[in-house]
Amino acid sequence: MSKRILITGAAGFLGSHLCDRFIKEGYKVTGMDNLITGSLSNLEELFREANFDFYNHDISKFVHVPGELDYILHFASPASPDDYLKMPIQTLKVGSLGTHNLLGLARVKNARILIASTSEVYGDPLEHPQREEYWGNVNPVGPRGVYDEAKRFQEAITMAYHTYHNVETRIVRIFNTYGPRMRLNDGRVLPNFMYQALMGQDLTIYGDGSQTRSFCYVDDLIEGIYGLLLSDYVQPVNLGNPSEISILDFAQEIIQITGSKSELIYKDLPVNDPKQRKPDISRARKILGWEPQVDRKQGLTRTLAYFKEIMKEEIKGNFA
């Protein structure tokens, strides 16, 4: 009998790639999304699959899934600053009420649940690189607090269900990830830079560009999540690429790979924007035998091809 998995946030960037992977592995996949940031176009190919079905539902409300369920992947949440600053209440509700609903479902179905946490639980870190043991430096009442604290609460209630109700739980802390199916209007640095470069616009740097990020290609992340779900490890695990780069240098990379003649313009750094972001992935290496395989140049080339394709009409065929 095929195992059955529920994936929330299924129409989003990561959720849709996870649906693809589990269909490929022979699972019966039930996707769930309320489509406030996701798109059904990400699932277009899957609707032809007999082992895939989809519910348009807000998991902040009671979640009912008929039949047996073996696994749950909780990936529903606005994830970019643009999204969660526009939807602060929804972000808090999906991290709290939504997670509570899914943990209850996992308990009733005797299913294993993996929740998608984030490097943002570390806030603007005072430790570098960030290890899972680090408790973070988060401003709970700052503009980013709605996302950071939703994820921190999500981890706390997940561990409570594991400890007090013996629910099988897994926690992944996801660092910056990129690749096909990212939205061009996502608001995050990579799609912003790609869009501006392809449109011949100047690239916007916030602050002086010395802040750092570490970018992981989506295929590598999906592989790590798959391994973590099937592992026996219940503590949080960082997944990301420890290859760190400053935003200024990253902008230059994007200009070079796109062949753009864009210049750089500078704006004020957003409040509580992290100055450094680099995962310590020692735990993932030891527990899962995992580390990224796709280097940044390779990943950016694949992502650029995707963005060119979806922008063909807007840029009038210049890159066709």
Which residues are identified as catalytic?
147
Nearest to 242, CA basis, from 130, 125, 123, 121? 130
CA dist 254 and 256 (Å) reads 5
Helices (H) and strands (E) in the chain, counts: 10, 13
In this structure, what is the dihedral angle of CA atoms 280, 286, 288, 290, given to the nearest 10 degrees? 60
CA dist 200 and 194 (Å) reads 10
CA dist 278 and 242 (Å) reads 5
Asked whether the beta carbons of 261 and 201 are under 8 A apart, the reply is: no
Give me the half-sphere count of Cα atoms (radius 13 Å) on the Cβ side of residue 277. 28
For 269, residues 6+ apart whose C-beta sits below 8 A from its C-beta are 206, 207, 211
Asked whether the beta carbons of 169 and 162 are under 8 A apart, the reply is: yes
How many beta carbons lie within 10 A of that of residue 298, not counting itself? 11
